[in-house]
Chain A
């Protein structure tokens, strides 16, 4: 939370509509995402009640569990979900490109990857739990399930795990993706309500954001976006419908439950698609493609792992892989923050506010300036920038600039609204700087101490060398019969 964001929120309140907090979009929006809106039974960890899923906003597939406590019906649900989700996901594994590497063998990478969009963070968690409760099942043995069920479980687990990676867009929560681009006139807690959030961002004609958000809090007008259902709906509509089904499990009883769930799912289904459209309409940031490429790489590796018959993801990470995972997430977080700032002046403004970046106009430049003698003689142009920003960079600090790729400089002096920089990188191989490599007087420039090259994390041992203090080397997780049989009550 920064003063900039707080200010955007104040404006949202005054103008009655959400305010942009970015100038570009920072997540990937697929051409053909799959929207998944799950509902779960209240009081249960992962008992699916129903879901709307599909890639066509006009034709959602409605999945229903008429008696959510019934194990067979749950697996039937998982099987149906697999029928929709697996062909979608697997479709992307078929077309690949060959990627050349500077060092090492070239490898194959999928040209595109699936993208699943759910309403909110709890739906991501539920996706993970649904994955956890299905991935160890087996098609043979004492409690056989359809072969697609464990496969579905592994994919759902993969998507949920991957969504913890900052900057990944394989599984998006609509509230979070929207919240990263707009500030509303309500609190973060209230922003977790998708209908209210969209009410601020895109209020219906003739209504202001606050009114729209207020209306969105009425569960009769806007059912909760799940996975939790509205208790009133549970008690007055769903409860009696499930009891009727228990008394007589007829097609009509199922239909009654389906219709009830449809009323709860359909509004959210439309909202999620609305969110997708709003995000799509924003111009894409220039580094979004790179991150999506990393997503495609990750997706390709997981596809291969499945094709090779690797085991399902373990129940828990071993000590080393847990530490490696955490370190990886931290690096991804830092990289994502820097990339966004480089892509987006409004995000960079946060760092200008805190003094870690500044923007201004070049007042003087000395492009053909050298330092040192003989062989160590180096090209070191000086550039003076006039700025109104409160610069808090010590002399000697290395800085980069979103305006020039590969360009690097060092702070020489900061005084009286002027910053003197010494250019150190990105001038080409010639005796004089390449054309355009050194900013010229009159040019507007921006510099920051944020850089994209990170220290590599402290080396972690390989999993096989886990110290005994951390439980020793993990046994490779081999799911057993108990896993396959595990109760799902």
Chain B
């Protein structure tokens, strides 16, 4: 299967998934196109660009600067401020805390260094608390190990670990934007899973990693950080399900034509050798399941939306609308059923009745 995936990707290195990308995997679990591309480690962003459908996911320098500044503040002086917050939050009698920056070793050693540090922490079981900054964690996705470089910390005390995620959106009078909290929870769940996998691999109990992650955000309008526990059990469950589904990607691969590839192999100038047309043709071989949510989660959204438009799919209007239309896939078909110009199939009698009534009511009220 790996050979097949390599072929799909072409002679370019597989794209590492960051936690954001992994968290987004769970966003549209029904999409085969995305499952296959992710399993093969295809660069979706590059693909979208080459197709002429870049995703509108820019980031403002102001947001980046602010995020970095806040993170630096929280980590200042060996995470002194963070320690204070955790002491209050977890009710821990921590006097001293160690700080291990895994980034200090060369990048090729970081994964093994992280591994060794975590292993030692569990074995020694001493009472000192330790922050592990910039750990490098691996997570198996569809047979490939993806490396995650969290901007988060793992906090360890007495052999128990908490993932600490620093975000720069504000908590104002105890409330933050729910979508942002949800996104942070999804991301943290990825780290919890990766750290648990590591412990398990080392022969330790994975439950040593708490499902309560520590979210650190600025409070109100100042820069002062505040810490909150977020339970990510639900996110973990969704993630596990989705990852399990991706290991079954072989079934999705079975139906694909032989020799299919999404290769972005560049020429001497760095431009992909294949034409955008060929690439689009190749993509269309793997069925997508476009939904408006893709617009905020998947790099291929503009391409898939365009495709859904050209085939007049009811998906364009959103899942709710599609459900309301009784799952009828084509917009003109649904309209035809409503206006009585299309004969309903056997299983469409009911929805056709509703649509015809809706149509009559509209005509009557707007006459």
Contact = CB atoms under 8 A, between A and B. Distances in A.
Q: Do A and B bind each other?
A: yes
A14 interface: yes
B361 A352 contact: yes
A346 B325 contact: no
Nearest to B323: A1
Interface stretch (B52-60, B120-128, B155-163): B52-60
Q: Which of B173, B223, B338, B366 has the most CB of A within 10 A?
A: B366
Interface in B148-189: 168-170, 172-174
A7 B338 contact: yes
B311 to A, nearest CB: 13
B145 interface: no
Interface string A232-276: 101100110000000000000000000000000000000000000
A360 to B, nearest CB: 11
A489 B221 contact: yes
A8 B359 CA distance: 9
Contact of A231 (B60, B66, B325): B60
Interface residues of B, number: 53
Interface stretch (B202-210, B225-233, B313-321): B313-321
A55 interface: no
Contact of B317 (A6, A46, A315): A6
A231 B59 contact: yes
B59 A487 contact: no
A432 interface: no
A231 B56 CA distance: 10
B13 interface: no
A72 to B, nearest CB: 15
Interface in A1-47: 1-11, 13-14, 20, 23, 41-46
Interface string B60-80: 111111110000000000000
A20 B335 contact: no
B271 interface: no
A345 interface: yes
A186 interface: yes
Contacts of A6: 317, 321, 324-325, 334, 358
Given A10-B331, A189-B295, A41 B62 contact: yes
Q: Which of B61, B66, B296, B358 has the most CB of A within 10 A?
A: B358
Contact of A239 (B61, B316, B355, B358): B61
Given A20-B366, A42-B60, A43-B63, A188 B318 contact: yes
Interface class of chain B by DSSP: helix
- Tier of interface size on chain A: 35 or more
A346 B169 contact: no
Contact of B168 (A2, A43, A210, A388): A43
B238 interface: no
A234 B295 CA distance: 21
A4 B62 contact: no
Given A187-B316, A231-B58, A349 B365 contact: yes
A45 B338 contact: no
A486 B223 CA distance: 11
B292 interface: yes
B332 A14 contact: yes
Q: Which of A43, A186, A217, A489 has the most CB of B within 10 A?
A: A43
A310 B325 CA distance: 53
A66 B191 CA distance: 40
B330 to A, nearest CB: 10
B317 A349 contact: no
Interface in B193-249: 218, 220-224
A138 to B, nearest CB: 16
Contacts of B366: 20, 23, 346
A13 B311 CA distance: 13
Interface string A110-143: 0000000000000000000100110000000000
Contact of A43 (B58, B65, B222): B65
Contacts of B321: 1, 5-6, 9, 187
A189 B169 CA distance: 22
A103 B168 CA distance: 54
B358 A353 contact: yes
Interface in A344-367: 345-346, 349, 352-353
A353 B361 contact: yes
A1 B221 CA distance: 37
Contacts of B354: 3, 353
B221 A232 contact: no
A129 B221 CA distance: 9
Interface in A279-328: 315-316
Given A9-B317, A43-B66, A4 B292 contact: no
Contacts, number: 147
Contacts of A10: 314, 317, 325, 331, 334-335, 338
A388 B292 CA distance: 36
A208 interface: no
B293 interface: yes
B116 interface: no
Contacts of A13: 312, 316-317, 331
A9 B328 CA distance: 14
A441 B240 CA distance: 65
Contact of B60 (A4, A43, A132): A43
B332 A2 contact: no
Contacts of A190: 292, 295
Contacts of A46: 170, 221
A142 to B, nearest CB: 16
A347 to B, nearest CB: 9
B90 interface: no
Contacts of B296: 189
A353 B357 contact: yes
Interface in A170-193: 185-190
Interface string B328-342: 000110110010000
B3 interface: no
A8 B295 CA distance: 23
A346 B365 contact: yes
A210 B306 CA distance: 12
Interface in B241-282: none
A215 interface: no
Given A234-B62, A349-B365, A316 B174 contact: yes
Given A13-B331, A346-B365, A3 B62 contact: no
B222 A189 contact: no
Nearest to B170: A45
A345 B361 CA distance: 9
B61 A7 contact: no
Interface of B: 56, 58-67, 168-170, 172-174, 218, 220-224, 292-293, 295-296, 309, 312, 314, 316-318, 320-321, 324-325, 331-332, 334-335, 338, 354-355, 357-362, 364-366
Interface of A: 1-11, 13-14, 20, 23, 41-46, 129, 132-133, 185-190, 210, 217, 219, 229-232, 234-235, 238-239, 315-316, 345-346, 349, 352-353, 388-390, 486-489
26 contacts: A1-B320, A3-B358, A4-B362, A6-B321, A7-B335, A10-B338, A13-B317, A42-B63, A43-B63, A43-B67, A43-B168, A44-B62, A45-B170, A46-B221, A132-B172, A132-B173, A185-B316, A185-B317, A187-B316, A187-B317, A187-B321, A231-B58, A231-B63, A346-B366, A353-B357, A487-B222
9 shortest interchain CB distances as A-B pairs: A43-B63, A231-B58, A43-B66, A487-B222, A45-B170, A42-B60, A187-B292, A234-B60, A349-B361
Given A23-B365, A234-B61, A486-B220, 8 more contacts: A7-B335, A8-B362, A10-B335, A45-B172, A189-B293, A189-B295, A190-B295, A353-B361
